[in-house]
């Protein structure tokens, strides 16, 4: 099977859906003339023209609002934020308009819109450009939240998101756009709310999503050197969460570790911890451990970034802690 970059997988999903449905269009900063800040939309202006690949001013609240209005009137916008840190400027339109319109209109208006762009740390970008808001958006009724970890999932999940009748938050990672992975040439889609077992194991369940999958898989490989068999589950979507797959795995392994890039308070890992202790308490042979970023704004210095973010060592220590309790 061919290997393509993460950005190319996203581009294929966008292109295929715009070819399939003339109501789909892309709008955001630098998506057209510059071919995208991360070259996801490279060549799409030439293919689809300026009415469907639209450059915007640096005005997230404005173009997010335009997208919501367009979706309410029958179009299917894809709104690109240069980073989800900038989505905070537009959060009123995302939370108070897109997420609530179906309910507030008594079902008269759906809002089939995708808000997409990079999330989390991307190197030495400091505090205002290195945040994770997955749990913020997942906390809001009316939204679906997708965080792919590899090119194959990114393409299949984005195509599904574009066809969804509800607003979808689609969160990528700047440091993954160049990652390569196997992606079939034939069309496929991945349903939202279905986790994927990336590595089967029998001793410890390790749950994660997004670029933290790399950390989880490396930690699992290191654990295997000590004869610890780790099952790695990639949530893929954090609203809805595939609780059933996590619980089933814990019932098999009797131990759970969660790795997540976000801050610890009210995180996705907190929600999974609560759900597992409620529905699989009798299966647990050790307290649940979770690895998050330290509870501070992310600094600029690379040594501090390394110390604050989840890493392989911290994850491996947690695996051993639940194993040898």
Lowest mean pLDDT among 71-80, 116-125, 136-145, 208-217: 116-125
Same domain, 38 and 91: yes
Residue 278 CB partners (closer than 8 Å, separation 6+): none
Residues 72 and 169 in one domain: yes
Burial class (CB in 10 A: 0-12, 13-18, 19+), 64: buried
Return the DSSP state at 37: T
Burial class (CB in 10 A: 0-12, 13-18, 19+), 306: exposed
Quick check: is 60 catalytic?
Answer: yes
> Is there a single domain that holds both residue 49 and residue 176?
yes
Q: Is a pLDDT exceeding 80 seen at residue 323?
A: yes
How many domains does the chain fold into? Answer: 2
Band the pLDDT of 178: cuts 50, 70, 90.
Answer: very high
Q: Quick check: 34 pLDDT over 80?
A: yes
Residue 261 included in any domain: yes
Q: What is the pLDDT of residue 243?
A: 98
Alpha-carbon dihedral sign for residues 64, 66, 70, 75: negative
CB 44 within 8 A of CB 19: no
In a domain, 93, yes or no: yes
Single out the residue in 134, 159, 182 at which a domain terminates. 182
Q: Which structural domain, as residue segments, surrounds residue 301? A: 196-323
Considering the chain, what is the average pLDDT of its residues?
Answer: 96
Which residue among 12, 60, 231, 260 is the active-site one?
Answer: 60
Q: What are the backbone angles phi and psi of residue 311, rounded to the nearest 5°?
A: -140, 180
- Checking if the pLDDT of 325 tops 80, the result is no
Within a domain: 27: yes
For 36, the enclosing helix (H) or strand (E) is none
Residue 184 · residue 155 · CB < 8 Å: no
Q: 130 in a domain, yes or no?
A: yes
Catalytic hit among 129, 231, 261, 271 = 129
Cα gap 144→239, rounded to integer Å:
5
Quick one: pLDDT band at residue 6, thresholds 50, 70, 90? very high
Is this prediction's pTM over 0.85?
yes
Q: Are residues 87 and 35 in the same domain?
A: yes
Average pLDDT of the residues in 159-164: 98
User: Which residues neighbour 17 within 8 Å (Cβ) at sequence distance 6 or greater?
Assistant: 24, 158, 159, 162, 163
In this structure, what CATH number is given to the domain that contains residue 251? 3.40.50.920
Rounded Cα distance, 113 and 144, in Å: 11
Whether 275 sits among the annotated catalytic residues: the reply is no
Report pLDDT for 321: 97
Query: Distance between CA atoms of 122 and 218, rounded to whole angstroms?
Result: 19
| CATH code, domain with 71 | 3.40.50.970
């Amino acid at each position: 099977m061919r290997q393509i970059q993460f950005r190319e997988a996203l581009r294929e999903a966008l292109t295929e859906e715009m070819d399939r449905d003339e109501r789909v269009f892309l709008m955001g900063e630098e998506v057209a003339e510059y071919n995208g800040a991360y070259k996801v939309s490279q060549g799409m202006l030439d293919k689809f023209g300026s009415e469907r690949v639209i450059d915007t001013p640096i005005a997230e609240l404005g173009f997010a609002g335009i997208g919501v209005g367009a979706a309410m009137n029958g179009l299917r916008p894809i709104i690109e934020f240069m980073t989800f840190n900038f989505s905070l400027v537009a959060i009123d339109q995302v939370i108070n308009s897109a997420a609530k319109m179906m309910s507030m209109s008594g079902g008269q208006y759906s809002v089939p819109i995708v808000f997409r762009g990079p999330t989390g740390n991307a190197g030495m970008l400091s505090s205002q450009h290195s945040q994770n808001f997955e749990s913020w958006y997942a906390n809001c009724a009316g939204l679906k939240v997708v965080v792919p970890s590899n090119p194959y999932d990114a393409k299949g999940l984005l195509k599904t998101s574009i066809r969804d009748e509800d607003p979808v938050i689609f969160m990528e990672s700047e440091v993954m756009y160049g990652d390569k992975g196997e992606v079939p040439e034939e069309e496929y889609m991945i349903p939202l709310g279905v986790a994927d077992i990336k590595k089967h194991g029998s001793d410890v369940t390790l749950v994660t999503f997004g670029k933290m999958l790399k950390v989880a898989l490396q930690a699992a490989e290191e654990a295997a050197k000590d004869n610890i068999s780790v099952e790695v589950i990639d949530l893929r979507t954090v609203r809805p969460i595939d609780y059933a797959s996590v619980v089933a795995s814990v019932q098999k392994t009797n131990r759970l570790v969660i790795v997540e890039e976000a801050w610890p308070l009210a995180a996705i890992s907190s929600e999974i911890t609560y759900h597992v202790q409620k529905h699989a308490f009798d299966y647990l042979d050790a307290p649940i451990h979770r690895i998050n970023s330290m509870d501070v704004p992310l600094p600029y210095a690379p040594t501090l970034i390394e110390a604050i973010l989840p890493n392989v060592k911290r994850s491996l220590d947690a695996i051993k802690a639940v194993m040898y309790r």
